[in-house]
Amino acid sequence: MYIGIVKRVIVALFTALLVVSCGKQNKEAFYNTGIIYCSESNPVTFNPQLDTSSTTSDATSHQIYDRLLDFDPDSGRIVPSLASSWLVSNDGLTYAFQLRKDVKFHKTHYFTPTRNFNADDVVFSINRWRLPSHPFHSVSGGRYPYFESLGLAQNIAAVRRVNGYRVEITLRRRDSSFLANLATDFAVILSKEYASALFDAGNPSKIDNLPIGTGPFKFESYRKDRFIKYLRHKDYWRNDELAAQDNNNMPASKEFDDESNEEAQAFNAASKQGDNAHDELLGVEQLIFDITPRSSLRLAKLMTGECDATAFPAQTELEVIRTRNDLTLAEKPGLNIGFWAFNTQRPPFDNPDVRRALASAIDKNTLLEAVYFDSATRAKTLLPAASWAFQNDADDTAYNPVLARQLLANAGVKEGFSMTIWAMPVERAYNPNATKMAELIQRYLRDIGVEATIVSYDWATFRRHLQDGLHDSVLIGWSADNGDPDNFYRPLLSCGAIPSGTNRAMWCDEDYDRLLNEALQTEDIDERTAIYHQVNRLLYERLPLVPIAHAYRYQAYREELNGVVINPFGGVRFGGVEKTL
Amino acid sequence: MIQILTRYCTLLTITLLVLAVMSFSLAYLFPGDTLENLTGLVPQNDVQREALERQFKLDSSVVVQFFYYLGNLLVGDWGYSFTSGLPLAEEVSIAMPATIELATYAMLMALFVGVPLGYYAGIRSYSTTDHLLNGASMTTYSFPVFWLALLLILVFSLQFDAAPLSGRISLLYDVPRVTGFILVDVLLSDLENKSLAFKDALSHIALPTLAIGAITTASMIRITRRSVIDVKHKAYIAAAVSRGLSSWQIFTRHVLRNALLPILPLMAIQITTLITNAMIVETLFSWPGIGNWLIQAIYQRDYPALRIGMMAVSTLVITLTILVDLFNRLIDPSREKYEHAAV
Amino acid sequence: MPMLDIKNLTLEMGSGDATIKALDKVNLSVSSGEIRALVGESGSGKSLIVSAICGALPGQWRLTADRMSWNGENLLGMSVYQRREVMRREIAVVFQNPQAALDPSATLGEQLAESIPEEFVNGNWFWQRAQHRKKIAISTVHKVGIKHHKHYLSAYPHQIPADIGQKFMIAMALVSQPKLLIADDPTRGMEPTTKAQILKLFTRLNQTKSLSILFVSHDLLAIASMAHSMTVLYAGQTVESGKMKHIKKRPLHPYTQALLDSAPSFRKDLPPKSHLPTLGGSIPTLQHLPIGCRLGPRCPRAQRACVQTPAVRRIHDHSYSCHYPLHMEKL
Amino acid sequence: MPQFSLYEEEFHPSPWQRTWAAFRSSHIAMVGLIMLGCFVIFALFAPIITPYDAVEQNIDGLLIPPSWTSNGEISHLFGTDALGRDLFTRIIYGCRITLGTAFITVVLAMLVGVSLGAFAGMLRGVRSSIANHLLDALMAIPTLLIAIIIVAILGAGLVNSMWAITLALIPQFVHHTRSFVRAEMKKDYIVASRLDGASRWQLFIHSILPNMIETLVVQGTLALSIAVIDISALGFLSLGAQSPLPELGAILADGLDAAYLAPWNVAVPGTVVFLMVLSINIVGDGLRSALRKRVSH
């Protein structure tokens, strides 16, 4: 008799547990008000000037800040942003920027702006990284790797505030890539008022941890290894501008790189220039960056709807995303390069023959197939096919283990020589699985009698040790920030780039730098391309690093999101994204 | 009664002291500079190093250091984590409740599902239902917890999209932290869509609890069944039958209590496996508990976090075990007869 | 008409050719007001008979009996509820080892109160009923000779000595005022002083309340003085039963003779320093039971005919089952 | 007098034979034993059985599906993983490493645990009860925690994870041995031999140990199943065996990265670990009930 009671109790218990916990993922209206983006790791800081890693610029540059100029995601040309128009002098040394009016800074729980964006903010933002004497220069380490690698600080003579909404910058030497550099993710505009308020309060480093900008989202909170929370910037300047604009299509701005007319290109881009990507910019109430280091977990969360978009889907998962109809996969030939850099300051890697031996010991095609699953093209030089200075007939190292053994022998490297391969722990478009590539290379090197051990740390510690040059060789890469070829050569291998930490090969060569500066002097495309071909030749002879692949850029998101634009220069932009469940 | 209490209190303090010594010695055992391991502060220059060393009495003898360290432990100044720079006391107070919550729900599931099923299997011993239950509990018990969690994710999250697979609640909800237990916090909070948030939190907690709970429930069933069968063959049950009591009366008055007593000490062991499983499952479901935090700390070689994490988790587990033992000692009249019954 | 009457009770276990007959055609009857002793060496299946009567047989035994009646009603035919009613009100059992037969997790007072039948307790509110139950418990405890009940009622079974425990078992049996008390070797392993106390208690109960007692034991000495009639059991077969006086004077079955010889106090004519007469061999284990008369291999008088199980023969109320009984030649 | 015994054929099986007879009677236990036998054979003869080398990558055979699926090849029974290594070979070597390490860990823990437990059991007085309670309390520290601490000190690696699990299992053995020895010391046959002047050590070797063997075997199987689970868990969290070493947990973790394209890289190692633990548990349970049957009759 009592068996019946016990049985009924247990059955009731089970059904209750199941009913409560299951039930289809609810499609309540509430979930439309927020976008969750699964990012791959923590940003090092909230001021992109201080760090070149794409994680940092993803999390900050396009969400919190604005720049003077922007790139048009479709054509890649420079379009006005905070600078509504700009004037270049004939000798190409002075640039005058007309700034946009009534652009409001963020109003957050830690700062309330009293005035709009004006010239002082531009001068403050540029002088901060330019002038070592600037009060905010040494705040949070005082290292501005991108600008140091380009040597921009030395090239800018003066930044002058003409009036409330007009700034003039004069250079020492002509630099055709200057405008492109002002449009990169790193040239963001900070708020001078916020900076001075912090300076008086005595903790200036807060400017880089609790950011204030003019971008579509304002910073709300950050938990390391867990999430970053942004709220919508109610009065974002693009919203008002769009509301005022009658929505016929504006004439596209003049071709920037049409070099034909030599006289000053007076771009009187109409102040109402709006680019069609950010049409109605109401967007969502809150944006969350859910930090999920494992790529398989990111995809799982995308499938269950816990994430609306993910960063760097792994190559093996592309097939799965394409087959599912509730996910969309945006694909673009990426402006990036994955390479295997040798630490040229450590013997025996200072000897080019040893580097050539190691380069010819590996078979690039198999690496492409095994790691990139054929979603990348073989790299001969640093420049990908999408860049206008691409050299198709550049010479490349072939897979030749016999030659490798010979070179090693006469370079005096004995059998069983051991070296380290540092594999970066995070996924990147240019190298989706560095550990796996390292294991493959390890096997190739074992064939020619070289014992390689794989070293990997957490991303922040990894980059700190790389900067101190503790590595023999490293598998890493670089994704360009603007379409200019100089953005590949200078940050990766110029002497100036070693202290800034972007020159992983720690390689310094006078005639390499001489050629790069020469290229910057001319505006003429063919002349610059010829110089870059000479640079490619020089790199092939010295071989400080082995270029491996130019990968496609992928962006996976759920089909509920519309308005997502894939940006060829990396970075994800949620400004105008709308979510309808 | 008092004698038992004092005995257990001294045992608890001795064990915690041993733990403190172990965690103190860890600072020396970990690679890297002892000062950093002890305090978590990285001295930039030598001047700061001397100041810190004097402050933490590193120059004086080990014993003085240890007592100073013990003082710090008790007062709650546990040093700073290398990676996040936050004080460790705060980190642990955020991470620990999440694991406790997970372990509590799994333990409740084990108690309210495992024990009754165990009784049912024990009473109907050697019948078909008993073999069924025994087989099921044996299979679930031999699942490695990470494999069971992966299977649950594959089936419930990816296949049926019934339950989410990461985090404690959808990040869109801004739940203020009151007690650290997510379900309690949601109820206490004044969110406008509170019912929605609660349902979301419940669906988030379903899979991890099921993953850990299933294994503990399985072992609970086995233990209870074995205990009930042992009791059924005892002489006083035959005596009760001879007194003409109905089987329900026999079950409630004699079988129920006598079968429960040998189970309690085994529940203490269950707590240990429960916490271990919780720590493993946290990394899979990215549940922001102490396990996840410790394993991140290992990857980032964050030694102060490891030292304090070890201290916190072992103190929690040991106190719980000793409390269960004490509770069992108090309510069980003939404790010596029930030396640890075999599983 | 005997109160409890059991004819040809057989208990089998196992299947096919390996069936073991623990009890083979056992006959036992107890009439009201009588103390019947059931004597047999340990391992002869005495406790099995007791659990067969109570209906608490372990699962694997199969029971078949020609007649198993209680006051005329057939025990086997009863429904489970009726059988339980009989056990609750009319039959009570006192087990061997008091320590094991008491619930270790409940106090003695609780267990005693629990076995008081509801009908005896009056008072319409539960606390009144509890009070009355406590009073009945205390009076019964005094009856069985435990003076300071307050201490013992609140004690746990592992805290009390064996004889107090046994007295409690008897109190629990008596509290339901049964008609038949089955005592399964209650004095086993006790010192003689406490054993005598217990036996005196039994005889007093029998005389004052004319409570019939089935006294199961292997201790012949204690039984001889108080039992009215006796049944002798050997390896699951009833070899002899009858009035105590007749059996003591003229045992008919060789095994009974051997039992009586083994107790020197029964033998007046025993010369000093002479060998105590004993039977050779030992009790067969369950797996190796001999066929026919199970005493066969050890019986000095065994003949070819003993291979068949001897039928039960009766001389007025003295029955035996042996092909070659003692003292018969003289008749 | 000539004792003609009719019961010549009476045969008293030794305790071992009786336990084995009881064990053999239950079919499930036999199935478990056969499965465990297969794993032990895999573990012992791994190099002979396996067609390929466990660590050698073959580039042109990446992510080949298992042979029973449509486009699978028979040359790779379980298909290949993301680096082109044959999964069948790695699973066999995985059995060798996981089961082997677990076995060594349990034997080590047993040796240390039993000697400590016996020593504590024999010791009279306050010291042994304090030591015992302390060990009981330390038994409560989770295995994963000890593993994390040891990995932090000595660095990750299979041997270090072995140390961690041994340390975690020792208190269990100490506790069971100590309670067994204390119970045994109260028994008369021990008191008798002690009165004959047997020293503590002789007592332990000659009288207590033989009786303890069977309970030790049962404790051993229980500890083995816990050890296998812990070693594969540590491998999975990449705290134990590092990447090229084919340990079942590590194979599962590697397989996770390409889980969507190659689900068999996750399914097969998981099921193998599950079957291994299941077989150990079944054998352990069968042994325990056989032992209980023998003791109760």
- Residue A221, pLDDT above cutoff 80: yes
Q: B11 - beta bridge partners? A: none
Averaged pLDDT in 10-residue chunks for chain B of 343 residues: 84 89 85 75 78 76 85 85 84 92 93 92 86 92 93 88 87 84 87 86 93 94 91 87 85 88 84 91 91 88 88 90 85 55 37
Contact B138 D145 (CB under 8 A): no
Picking from A256, A265, A173, A262, the residue whose alpha carbon sits closest to that of residue A516 is A173
pLDDT of residue A250: 41
C272 CB contacts (<8 Å, ≥6 apart)?
Answer: none
Q: How far is D136 from chain A (nearest CA, A)?
A: 34
End-to-end CA distance of chain A: 52
Confidence band of D224 (pLDDT split at 50, 70, 90): very high
Distances (CA, A) of C32 to B101, C27, C213, D138: 67, 17, 9, 65
| C16 phi/psi in degrees, rounded to 5 | 60, -135
pLDDT of residue A515: 86
Q: How far is C151 from chain B (nearest CA, A)?
A: 16
Neighbours of D240 (CB within 10 A): 30
pLDDT of residue C284: 78
pLDDT digits (tens, 9 = 90+) for B29-57: 888 777 777 777 777 778 888 887 777 77
pLDDT of residue C140: 87
Once rounded to an integer, what is the mean pLDDT over residues A100-121? 88
Confidence band of A1 (pLDDT split at 50, 70, 90): very low
E strands of A93-239, at which residues?
94-99, 156-163, 166-171, 217-223, 227-232
User: Are the beta carbons of B281 and B146 closer than 8 angstroms?
Assistant: yes
- What the block records as the tokens of D225 is 């199943």
If residue A423 lies in a helix (H) or strand (E), which one and from where to where?
strand A417-423
Q: Which of A294, A295, A296 to substitute to test the interface with D, most D CBs within 10 Å?
A: A296
Confidence band of A460 (pLDDT split at 50, 70, 90): confident
pLDDT of residue B216: 94
At B329, the amino acid letter reads R
**Greater model confidence, A248 or A189:** A189
Picking from A267, A402, D188, the residue whose alpha carbon sits closest to that of residue D196 is D188
End-to-end CA distance of chain D: 33
User: Are the beta carbons of B304 and B140 closer than 8 angstroms?
Assistant: no
Nearest to D62 among A299, A370, A454 (CB): A370
User: Are the beta carbons of C144 and C200 closer than 8 angstroms?
Assistant: no
Which residue in this structure is represented by tokens 């299941």?
A: D278
Q: C87 to chain B: nearest residue by CA?
A: B244
Round to whole Å and give the CA distance between B314 and D142.
8
User: pLDDT tens track of chain C, all 331 residues?
Assistant: 788 888 888 888 876 667 788 888 888 888 888 888 888 887 778 888 888 888 878 777 888 888 888 888 888 888 888 888 888 888 888 888 888 888 888 888 888 888 888 888 887 888 888 888 888 888 888 888 888 888 888 888 888 888 888 888 888 888 888 888 888 888 877 788 888 888 888 888 888 888 889 988 877 777 788 888 888 888 888 888 888 888 888 888 888 888 887 776 666 666 777 777 777 777 777 777 788 888 877 887 778 888 888 888 888 888 888 888 777 764 4
Q: D261 to chain A: nearest residue by CA?
A: A316
C304 CB contacts (<8 Å, ≥6 apart)?
Answer: none
At B154, the amino acid letter reads L
Picking from B270, B274, B267, B221, the residue whose alpha carbon sits closest to that of residue B102 is B274
Distances (CA, A) of D2 to B122, C282, D217, D218: 52, 16, 44, 46
Chain B residues closer than 8 Å to A462 by CB: none
Contact C297 D6 (CB under 8 A): yes
Round to whole Å and give the CA distance between B123 and B255.
9
pLDDT of residue A296: 85
Indicate the SS3 state at residue B70: helix
If residue C85 lies in a helix (H) or strand (E), which one and from where to where?
helix C80-85
pLDDT digits (tens, 9 = 90+) for D125-157: 667 677 777 877 777 888 888 888 888 888 888
Decide: residue C18, CB within 10 A, 0-12 exposed, 13-18 middle, 19+ buried.
exposed
How many residues are given for chain C?
Answer: 331
Contact B301 A461 (CB under 8 A): yes
Q: Which of A234-248, A325-339, D205-219 has the lowest mean pLDDT?
A: A234-248
pLDDT of residue B145: 93
pLDDT digits (tens, 9 = 90+) for A558-575: 888 887 777 767 677 887
pLDDT of residue A567: 72
pLDDT of residue D10: 60
pLDDT digits (tens, 9 = 90+) for C186-198: 887 778 888 888 8
pLDDT of residue B152: 92
- What the block records as the tokens of D160 is 């270090």
Nearest to A288 among B172, B196, B288 (CB): B172
Chain A residues closer than 8 Å to D257 by CB: 294-296, 314, 316, 433
Contact C88 B244 (CB under 8 A): yes
Once rounded to an integer, what is the mean pLDDT over residues A93-106? 88
Peptide bond into A348 cis (omega under 30): yes
CB-based contact (8 Å) between B142 and chain D?
yes
Indicate the SS3 state at residue C213: strand
Chain A residues closer than 8 Å to D82 by CB: 316, 370, 436
> Which subunits sit against A, judged by 3+ Cβ pairs under 8 A?
B, D
Write the DSSP symbol of residue B172.
T
Round to whole Å and give the CA distance between C169 and C99.
10
Once rounded to an integer, what is the mean pLDDT over residues A533-540? 87
Q: How far is D10 from chain B (nearest CA, A)?
A: 29
Q: A555 - beta bridge partners? A: A330
Q: How far is A34 from chain B (nearest CA, A)?
A: 6
Picking from C153, C82, C150, the residue whose alpha carbon sits closest to that of residue C111 is C153
CB-based contact (8 Å) between C300 and chain D?
no
Q: A551 - beta bridge partners? A: A376
pLDDT of residue A241: 62
- Residue A25, pLDDT above cutoff 70: no
E strands of A301-375, at which residues?
309-310, 327-333, 336-342
Nearest to B248 among A1, A36, A290 (CB): A1
Once rounded to an integer, what is the mean pLDDT over residues A1-25? 54
pLDDT digits (tens, 9 = 90+) for A499-515: 878 888 888 888 888 88
pLDDT digits (tens, 9 = 90+) for A355-404: 888 889 888 888 888 888 778 888 888 888 877 788 888 888 888 888 88
pLDDT digits (tens, 9 = 90+) for A162-195: 888 899 999 888 887 888 888 888 888 888 899 8
CB-based contact (8 Å) between A440 and chain D?
yes
- What the block records as the tokens of A117 is 């964006």
CB-based contact (8 Å) between B145 and chain D?
yes
Round to whole Å and give the CA distance between C256 and C240.
7
Confidence band of A248 (pLDDT split at 50, 70, 90): very low
